[in-house]
Structure 1
Amino acid sequence: MKTVVILDVMQHSGVTFGTSGARGLVSAMTDEVCAAYAAAFLNVIRPSFKVTRIALGMDLRPSSPRIVAACAAALKEQGVQVDFCGALPTPALALYAQNEGIAAIVVTGSHIPFDRNGIKFYRPDGEITKADELAISEAVVQIGQVSGDLPAVNPAALNQFVQRYLDFFPKDAFKGLRLGVYEHSSVARDVLRTILEGLGAEVTSLGRTEQFVPIDTEAVAEIDIQRGKDWSQQYHFDAIISTDGDGDRPLISDETGNWLRGDIVGLICARYLKANKVVVPVSCNTAIELCGEFATVLRTKIGSPYVIAGMQQVASGEADAIVGFEANGGFLVGSRFSRDGSYLAPLPTRDSILPALTVLAAAGSGRVSDLMQGLPARFTASDRLQEFPVASSRQLIETLTSDPEALLRYLAPEDAQPVDCDTTDGLRIRFNNGEIVHLRPSGNAPELRCYCEAGSEARAMQLVQRVLGKIKG
């Protein structure tokens, strides 16, 4: 047995906690590093929970099976039964763990670049908290065996996930719809097709590949923007549905192939479910408040742990209808919902399937683009500078916060003046012309993200390009 100090692991490997789980370069995520994190997670939750079984799952990255095997070896050595659920969407594993009352570990890098991966942890009562992350970081563990074979796959988690949606939506709810599924390397590609066809849709597979594609639903690549339009013209779809790599963030187009913003998708989903309390990160579109449909809107730092904490904060009783969602479209269900005699259980972790299905259901016999009618004319756009060190991002934000001239030079729209500064997460400036510019370091990769909001989609994108262009040089 070997004694491992997690703080030392973090310092020497660079594998550290970001906005959602521990992530790092694949080359740094050695079997020993991954086994140590799994053992540390187990040590942290054991004082509060009786842990005899842990569910494991993974995405389709080539590095994921090896990392799962290392985690499984560490858990078995600690006397824990490994319930291996195979390659499946992160929310499917979370739902299964919730239903079974057990902890879970999913190996996924979500949307981050191919050379990286990650490990996300769930206690028996849901996602770990920031306090849990700190405790894991400070843990000292004993590890021995750090590799081995993968166990046989238990299909129960995938089956429960499919049934969740077939039970909630009416039979043949999507009969007559022609839908494209942009499959790429998403681990949700097959289950998404199963659910859509189970609800009556005619589904066409698009863009399937065995090479990993890091789809970022907040910064859709130009090639994918064009693909959406081309596929729509070629096949005359009612909509195109996709997800990020681990299936917890949706990518949804209208009938023209135009990809919808994730926070607008979340707004449509919350309205369809008739939520009365909404929790979102500070980066989301202000149409959420301006539409006037929710009694409570709480804004948090970016990351699902903060949204989950916010949902717990606003909870007050049986009348609660609580949801959370992020600018990336990931949707969290914080309370039990009913509609037309069917029920939807809480699932307080990001999910891509529910928002995709509710957009289709909300459109009904009309067009997806019609759902934009009646919403406040607020449009968001976002992009990122890749290979931009986190330290550089923080230094830039510190400079902009303390130097009004620098702020005006880099961020201000033409002839506009700042009227409000929000430092909840990064730097979010509202200007006197109503436009918003928000900069923050990514919590998952060396990237600087920029979010802008304006009165038109074209203007919002123009602002993003202008700000990032000035920062880049």
Structure 2
Amino acid sequence: MAAKFGTSGLRGLVGELTDGTAAAHARAFARHLLDNGLVESGATVHVGRDLRPSSPDIAGQCMAALAAEGLVAVDCGALPTPALAHSAMAQGAASLMVTGSHIPADRNGVKFYRPDGEIGKEDEIAIASGAPAFAGEPVDPVAVGGDAPMGEAALQAYRDRYAGFLPAGSLAGVRIGIYEHSSVSRDVLRDILQPTGAELIGLGRSETFVPVDTEAVPDSIRAQIRRWTTEHRLDALISTDGDGDRPLVADETGECLRGDALGLITARHLDADAVVTPVTSNSAIASHAGCRVWRTRVGSPYVIAGIAEAADTGAARIIGFEANGGVLTGSDFQVGKAFLSALPTRDCALPILAVLAAAHQAGKTVSMLVAGLALPVAASGRIENFPTALGQRLVASLATNIAEREAFFAPFGGVRAIDLTDGLRVTLPGGAIVHLRPSGNAPEMRCYTEADSAEEAEALVLSCMARLRDHAGSGND
């Protein structure tokens, strides 16, 4: 089985999922739920999907697999991952989302949710170990694509969740662009924002799947966002990845905000007493959050485990977020007239609304709000089509071989300190930071940097990615 669990769910090439692998994992998921008393035979499992072309077929196969284990799979149609999870959890049901999130359309994936929320690493291990027992078994996919009343109800519950977060009419006169592309959240975001009175301008809608990585926005998309911002005189632009669990926000100048800045603004706006975020988030989060901060490895299962740890210490207002901007609520929150029940899975709507609300309440532009955070300047990039195994070997070698590490970082002045929590995070002699890690979702190498200026941070990304290519090509891996 070539498809594997990554930082959030099962991922692989479409052919590696439609060959029965996705169905085998769905059966293993069902068996895991039943064997551990998380659901009873005959229980419903809500099944959703994003808008990439392979998702209906994979969803149909997964629904057939769930039925084979005695569960009732309910087609919820195309909807955002957080909307599916929110609705299923409210009804005490498990759920399954077919999505590759931000990765290209030749790939896809499956996310699994217990009745109490997103699965953890122990659940992943159980599902992965159980799936081979079902490999090769014939699958007769369930037809999907018709009416999906459960999905419509889930979308309405998601709209209702954020009703009153901002007072009605409070954003009158504010111009907000919605980069719609092929995001499954493109219409529901408009519905959520409509009562605020903002002027909403739809942009870039596409019926062909567009992969948008909110953690490493391509230069071509950044340039388009800047053009739209100028052309339409926007005060902000919002968007998401494919399944709506990662936000993208650009300010009134067309500059994209980093996801960790979105998370910090959200935590402050909700007056969090605990923040949980991976080591890839800005190093100054701990000193700027105004509360205790837990650092984790990359991936929502680790953030969820950190949320549980924070709760064990007595924290009552827990926010988790990742460098991609997705925010998880580990506690219930009341914001304006909106009651937000705990939703321990990434969500795009909350950070988008929090930024707009915080800027409105402070009487500031979005860029002024971000500047007020006074975070070190950070940048990130990725090398696509970089084999995962190669990236893992390369990072492991740099982490353990001191001479090789010193030689690699010699052009940057050497190494002052390292952190091996997830990948290799290096502090350079001048205080700048370089963090290298292979993606857990696709064959990509990620590079994160922090420096005193945007120019230096971006230059570090480009230089480090060039060094990685050269290092891999030289056989030093």
TM-score bracket for the superposition, by shorter chain length = over 0.9
Q: TM-score, normalised by structure 1?
A: 0.94
What is the deviation of 1:145?
Answer: 4.0
What is the deviation of 1:147?
Answer: 1.3
Q: Which of 97, 107, 110 pairs up with 2:101?
A: 110
Aligned Cα root-mean-square deviation (Å): 1.6
Q: Which of 64, 79, 92 pairs up with 2:55?
A: 64
Matched, 1:301 2:297: yes
Q: Which residue in the other structure is 2:183 paired with?
A: 186
Determine what percentage of the aligned residue pairs are the same residue. 49
Partners in 2 of 1:161 and 1:173 — Cα distance?
21
Q: Which of 337, 343, 347 pairs up with 2:343?
A: 347
What is the deviation of 1:411?
Answer: 3.4
What is the deviation of 1:175?
Answer: 2.2
Partners in 2 of 1:341 and 1:29 — Cα distance?
43
SS of 1:137's partner is helix
SS of 2:162's partner is helix
Partners in 1 of 2:58 and 2:335 — Cα distance?
41
Matched, 1:219 2:206: no
- The 8 Å contact of residues 279 and 299 in structure 1, kept in 2 or not, is answered as yes
Q: Which residue in the other structure is 1:153 paired with?
A: 148
What is the deviation of 1:165?
Answer: 0.7
Q: What letter corresponds to residue 43 of structure 1 in structure 2?
A: R
Q: Which of 24, 32, 41 pairs up with 1:36?
A: 24
> After superposition, what is the alpha-carbon deviation per residue over 1:227-271, rounded to whole angstroms, capped at 9, x for unaligned?
111111101111000000111001100001100001111111111
Q: Which residue in the other structure is 1:464 paired with?
A: 461
- The 8 Å contact of residues 182 and 240 in structure 1, kept in 2 or not, is answered as yes
Q: TM-score, normalised by structure 2?
A: 0.93
SS of 1:157's partner is helix
- The 8 Å contact of residues 251 and 259 in structure 1, kept in 2 or not, is answered as yes
Q: Which residue in the other structure is 2:475 paired with?
A: none
Q: Which of 379, 385, 391 pairs up with 1:387?
A: 385
Q: What letter corresponds to residue 96 of structure 1 in structure 2?
A: S
> After superposition, what is the alpha-carbon deviation per residue over 1:422-468, rounded to whole angstroms, capped at 9, x for unaligned?
11111011123111101011101111111111122221111000100
- The 8 Å contact of residues 18 and 57 in structure 2, kept in 1 or not, is answered as no
SS of 2:441's partner is coil
Matches for 1:319-338 after TM superposition, within 5 Å: 320-338=316-334
What is the deviation of 1:33?
Answer: 2.1
What is the deviation of 1:163?
Answer: 0.8
> After superposition, what is the alpha-carbon deviation per residue over 1:363-385, rounded to whole angstroms, capped at 9, x for unaligned?
00421011123323401111111
Matched, 1:92 2:86: no
What is the deviation of 1:420?
Answer: 2.0
Matches for 1:194-205 after TM superposition, within 5 Å: 194-205=191-202
Matches for 1:241-320 after TM superposition, within 5 Å: 241-291=238-288, 293-316=289-312, 320=316
Comparing 163-172 with 296-305, which one deviates more in the overlay? 163-172
Q: Which residue in the other structure is 2:39 paired with?
A: 50
Q: What letter corresponds to residue 246 of structure 1 in structure 2?
A: D
Comparing 297-306 with 14-23, which one deviates more in the overlay? 14-23
Partners in 2 of 1:372 and 1:239 — Cα distance?
13
- The 8 Å contact of residues 173 and 200 in structure 1, kept in 2 or not, is answered as yes
- The 8 Å contact of residues 165 and 353 in structure 2, kept in 1 or not, is answered as no
Q: What letter corresponds to residue 395 of structure 1 in structure 2?
A: R
What is the deviation of 1:197?
Answer: 1.3
Matched, 1:400 2:398: yes
- The 8 Å contact of residues 182 and 205 in structure 2, kept in 1 or not, is answered as yes
Partners in 2 of 1:335 and 1:420 — Cα distance?
35
* Structure 1 residue ranges without an equivalent (≥5): 1-9
Q: Which residue in the other structure is 1:378 paired with?
A: 376
Comparing 441-450 with 149-158, which one deviates more in the overlay? 149-158
What is the deviation of 1:144?
Answer: 4.8
Q: Which of 15, 36, 39 pairs up with 1:27?
A: 15
SS of 1:233's partner is helix
Comparing 373-382 with 257-266, which one deviates more in the overlay? 373-382
Matches for 1:107-186 after TM superposition, within 5 Å: 107-139=98-130, 140-141=133-134, 143-150=137-144, 152-154=147-149, 155-186=152-183
Q: What letter corresponds to residue 55 of structure 2 in structure 1?
A: S
Partners in 2 of 1:447 and 1:238 — Cα distance?
33
* Structure 2 residue ranges without an equivalent (≥5): 471-477
Q: What letter corresponds to residue 41 of structure 1 in structure 2?
A: F
- The 8 Å contact of residues 393 and 448 in structure 1, kept in 2 or not, is answered as yes
SS of 1:324's partner is strand
